[in-house]
Structure 1
Amino acid sequence: MRSLERHRDVAAYALGVLDEAEAFRFEDHLMECARCTAHVTEFGPATRQLMLYRRATPRWVHPLAGTGPRLLDRLLAEVAARHRARRRRTLYAVAASVVLAVAGPVIAATAGGGTGAVQASATDERSGVWARVTSADEPWGSQVALEVKDAAGPRACRLVAVGRDGSEETVTSWTVAPRDARPTSMQGGAALHPDEIARYEVRTATGERLVTIPAP
């Protein structure tokens, strides 16, 4: 996939319509493209509104049914307000991503034992994968440090933060070394704040869930 085509996949990725393989390739692109990262974050309010509408709408209501003018005005006003708030968070997130790229080991150490940082760990009996998440609240969302033990490599994996509203954000991704049971450490971030996250999931590139860690 060419770079221009990856840029065009921002909306499809944010709305969750890409298949697992395409989503994983796009996430690799996100790690190197601050512009697309900002655009994905900006789609967050619209995505959440669509999810809330889907949950609140009875199954017998046609998906293309029209809305009254008052409901539409309220919806547009709320989306605009959240868009402005998300835009401010995006600026913090982009700045934080630069800091993580330059001083990753220092940030990881701070997340592991800094003020306000909390930890949770879990082991999946079926997959044998162990993971520990350390998260800290930031103005732009959550700073996350991850440790994983996975002896079933090689395979590509990612850490997904699942919000209490059902939304999902990829925190970080990595490739497991072949037959290496030593812990792997990395760091990442999410626009969701810690109190907005219900759990973390380690998944393969094909969507297989390896271990679930309750939010600290």
Structure 2
Amino acid sequence: MSHTDPSGRTPDRYADWDAAYVLGSLSSAERHEFEKHLEDCPRCAVAVAELAGLPGLLSTLPESTVTELGVSNLPETARAPQKPAVALPKLAHQARRSKIRRRFAAAAVAAAVAASAAGITAALIPHTETSQAQAAGVPLSFSNVDANSVAVTGQALSVAWGTQIEWKCSYQGTPQSSGYEGPKPFELVVIDKQGKETVAASWDAQEDSVVSPVATVLTPIGQIAQIEVRWTNSGKVVVRAVL
């Protein structure tokens, strides 16, 4: 995100690093340098959090849209939502070589539309190599609130811009005797110590399915009171982890 002073200049040398950071195109030294900067720059931290779902969303785009955005020769497998990491090297290269952040912003919008059409509504990022700053995760012990067929495990990691949440949700639902009613919508809700709720992600689960998403929130890990998985339609809590 470009930050300018009243004179129109851009004094922040890190202003255009957010997209490259999210896409994993910074070198190890640059990544650590930028993470240190994020600790003292709320604007860049917000910018990174806003782009957190970009890699996963970009990988859902059809090749024609990717080509229009300036990323060509995308492998066929990169278009499959379940394998978002395949497309990232090419996308990251484009971010580093051309610094076309506006194109990536447009891609995020287009990807969101494509993802919505496919029933993918969670703002997810793929599992990538964890940096030293993210190495220590806090295990999340989810307990079922009542009798249900949902099991969740996961961890929360403190990152420079907030908290990254990684979890695995298995849904062992079975069709009703009247016939299969279709996928069930879930959402992951983060509740801070002041009671403020943030919907970090949402997804549809087929029967006997397992999803392993990643999401980020701006709330520091030390300010999170609990994390819940809820039925989207009713808001009923399915499982809960207390930090």
Report the TM-score when normalising by structure 2. Answer: 0.46
CA distance in 1, matches of 2:213, 2:52: 15
Q: Choose the corresponding residue for 1:115, options 135, 140, 150.
A: 135
Match of 1:194 in 2: 221
Match of 2:205 in 1: 176
What per-residue deviation string (whole Å, max 9, x for no partner) do you get for residues 10-59 of structure 1? xxxxxxxxxxxxxxxxxxxxxxxxxxxxxxxxxxxxxxxxxxxxxxxxxx
What per-residue deviation string (whole Å, max 9, x for no partner) do you get for residues 48-107 of structure 1? xxxxxxxxxxxxxxxxxxxxxxxxxxxxxxxxxxxx975443112134333454644333
- In structure 2, the gaps of 5 or more residues are 1-39, 60-84, 86-124, 174-181
Name the Cα RMSD after superposition. Answer: 2.6
Greater fraction helix: 1
CA distance in 2, matches of 1:95, 1:205: 24
AA aligned to 1:126 is A
Q: 1:142 to 1:150 in 2, by over 3 A?
A: same
CA distance in 2, matches of 1:211, 1:134: 14
Match of 1:92 in 2: 48
CA distance in 1, matches of 2:192, 2:185: 23
Match of 2:193 in 1: 164
AA aligned to 1:92 is V
Residue 161 (structure 1) shift: 0.5
Residue 172 (structure 2) pairs with residue 151 (structure 1) = yes
Q: 1:184 to 1:97 in 2, by over 3 A?
A: closer
- In structure 1, the gaps of 5 or more residues are 1-83
Match of 1:185 in 2: 212
Report the TM-score when normalising by structure 1. Answer: 0.52
CA distance in 2, matches of 1:85, 1:166: 25
CA distance in 2, matches of 1:129, 1:213: 13
Residue 230 (structure 2) pairs with residue 210 (structure 1) = no
- How many equivalent pairs are there? 127
CA distance in 2, matches of 1:213, 1:175: 21
Q: Aligned residues: percent identity?
A: 23
Residue 133 (structure 1) shift: 2.4
CA distance in 2, matches of 1:175, 1:198: 25
AA aligned to 1:210 is V
What per-residue deviation string (whole Å, max 9, x for no partner) do you get for residues 87-146 of structure 1? 443112134333454644333x749xx511121132415123211121111111111111
CA distance in 2, matches of 1:165, 1:100: 31
AA aligned to 2:230 is R
Residue 175 (structure 1) shift: 0.2
CA distance in 2, matches of 1:185, 1:106: 9
CA distance in 1, matches of 2:43, 2:157: 20
Q: Which moved more, 1:91-100 or 1:185-194?
A: 91-100
Task: Classify the secondary structure of the residue corresponding to 2:213.
Answer: strand
Task: Classify the secondary structure of the residue corresponding to 1:166.
Answer: coil
Q: 1:106 to 1:201 in 2, by over 3 A?
A: closer
CA distance in 2, matches of 1:202, 1:90: 24
AA aligned to 2:217 is A
CA distance in 2, matches of 1:194, 1:100: 23
CA distance in 2, matches of 1:157, 1:187: 14
